[in-house]
Structure 1
Amino acid sequence: MARLSVNINKIATLRNSRGGNNPDVLHAALACERFGAQGITVHPRPDERHIRYQDIYDLKANIKTELNIEGNSREEKFVSLVLDTRPAQVTLVPDDPGQLTSNRGWDTIKHQSYLQDTCTLFKEAGIRVSIFVDPDPTMVEAAAKTGTNRIELYTEAYASGYHHDREQAIAPYVMAAEVAQQAGLGLNAGHDLDLNNLKYFNQHIRGLLEVSIGHALIADALYLGLKETIKQYLSKLH
């Protein structure tokens, strides 16, 4: 069964919009754990517009499930943060400065040397590494040469195409997953997965280990409550 890692960036966004500490990011993460989430994901950005660097130190000191830190490893502050906190997993994402949200995977051919060096750095610190990639077999094959432990498939294209033609939308991901398995890579997925499209994705992607879900899950929690929402997302992964 794939594990559910809850991305809590949106909770931090709400807190920061008003100042103070309401809602409390750490309290929310601990509640996610209590309600069954098997991991917590954060994606800090240099302007700290949602998750703050101090949040991550607080989370690492208190949560018991896996901590996954996503971000742009070209930022020195991000690298220092990851090495200081030693999360279970770091996910390398090719964000541009000021980018609103992740919108593409790595070109693992063009940036292979850089990714090899970065994977080595984090793996030597005992941190599992995942690389954010598009569902392109060529990019998956090249990712395997970087030394990464896993890849995370960028699922925006699947989510966008799901309601129009879900078989067509899932097809590139099925192929990419097969290539990943052949290459010995662990497989994660994330971006725009939700209660409508998650079950179908999980049923058709062999070897899926983890999904990271934030925006849709937190939005659903406004209507359903956090406990019920996590319960429903977990049910889609059985």
Structure 2
Amino acid sequence: MGTKLSVNINKIATIRNARGGNTPNLVEAAKQIQSFGAEGITIHPRPDERHITKKDVYDLKKVVYTEYNIEGYPNDRFMALLKEVKPTQATLVPDPPGVLTSNAGWDTLEHFEFLKKINQEIKAMGIRTSIFIETNEEMIAASAEIGVDRIEFYTGPYAAQFSNDKAKAIAPFTKCAELAEKLNLGINAGHDLSLENLKFFKQNIPGLLEVSIGHALISDALYLGLENTVKMYKDLLVD
């Protein structure tokens, strides 16, 4: 089986919110993205609702029949949403209030007890857990002790270095993926993955279960069309 593609639709909500109203229609976009072959829909509802709103979280629950992945910092608001919506997966991200985008992984040593408690609460809801993390072997080992089902590699550093030295860019991810497999952690990845760098990443990461892609995919769709773009990304993930 190939790696699953989960499309992050935050950017579609950003365009809608720029004018108010309901154009483009986020729910319709999610339905179409799934019909085009994506195996999941990802959202990151931030407290300021600059893209995904609380209402969106509930509206999407009605139409997402693939995997529903909700990302975010596990504050009271986020945990309440998970309890009511019960998505397929909750991805924990260490975003402070007001951050532009998710650009760092958890320090699972410093926040070990907090994350362990949160993980237990989410798993008790019947939701798969994933944690956003960098290529640090100690942090990955601590993630396994925390008890999460999966890790999600923050791939920003890989994307930034890819055009200069792709072998150097991928090396720490391959090494850490091998460790994660030994620790029985599922592997997801996301951030700045694109048509240019996705295939090489896929080829060099053993056990890659899922990628979450938003900004690049939605941007490509402006030129290439949404259906065509989804299919192009999926083609890069086939074994």
Q: Tell me the TM-score range normalised by the shorter chain.
A: over 0.9
Tell me the residue number matched to 2:59. 58
**Does 2:147 align with 1:169?**
no
TM superposition outliers: structure 1 runs of 4+ over 2 Å: none
Give the AA of the match of 2:39.
Q
Q: Is residue 10 from structure 1 mapped to residue 11 from structure 2 by the alignment? A: yes
Deviation at 1:61, TM superposition (A): 1.3
Distance in 1, matches of 2:103 and 2:233, equals: 23
Shift of 1:50: 0.1
Q: Deviations over 1:194-235 (max 9, x none)?
A: 000000000000000000000000000000000000010001
Distance in structure 1 (CA, Å) of the matches to 2:132 and 2:34: 24
Q: Which amino acid aligns with 1:40?
A: I
Task: State the aligned residue count.
Answer: 237
Take 1:54 and 1:231, find their aligned partners in 2: how far apart are those partners? 29
- 2:41 — aligned with what? 40
Flag structure 1 segments of 5+ consecutive residues without an equivalent: none
CA shift for structure 1 position 100: 0.3
Q: 1:186, 1:105 → 2: CA distance?
A: 16
Q: Which amino acid aligns with 2:199?
A: K
CA distance in 2, matches of 1:137, 1:182: 12
- Give the 3-state SS of the residue equivalent to 1:130 in structure 2: strand
- State the secondary structure of the residue aligned to 1:139: helix
Q: Say whether residues 1:210 and 2:210 are aligned partners.
A: yes
Mapped to 1, the partners of 2:139 and 2:158 lie a distance apart of 17
1:63-94 deviation line (CA, Å, top 9, x unaligned): 21110000000x21111001110000000000
**Quick one: distance in 1 between partners of 2:3 and 2:100?**
27
TM-score by length of 1: 0.99
Matches of residues 1-238 of structure 1 in structure 2 within 5 Å? 1-73=2-74, 75-238=75-238
For each residue in 1:51-72, what CA deviation from the matched residue of structure 2 results, as whole angstroms up to 9, or x when unmatched?
A: 0011111111122111000000
- Deviation string for 1:96-120 (max 9, x for gaps)? 1000000100000110101100100
1:138 Cα deviation (Å)?
Answer: 1.2
* 1-structure distance, mates of 2:98, 2:195: 29
What is the rounded CA distance, in whole Å, between the counterparts of 2:185 and 2:110 in structure 1?
20
User: d(CA) in 1 for partners of 2:142 and 2:175?
Assistant: 15
The DSSP-based 3-state class of the residue aligned with 1:70 is strand
- What percent identity do the matched residue pairs reach? 55
CA apart distance, 1:45: 0.3
Secondary structure at the counterpart of residue 68 of structure 2: strand
Q: Kindly provide the amino acid, as one letter, of the partner of residue 231 in structure 2.
A: K
Q: Which amino acid aligns with 1:59?
A: L
CA distance in 1, matches of 2:64, 2:104: 29
Give 1:11 shift.
Answer: 0.1
| Cα distance in 1 for residues equivalent to 2:78 and 2:126 | 17
Give, in whole Å, the separation in 1 of the partners of 2:115 and 2:96. Answer: 16
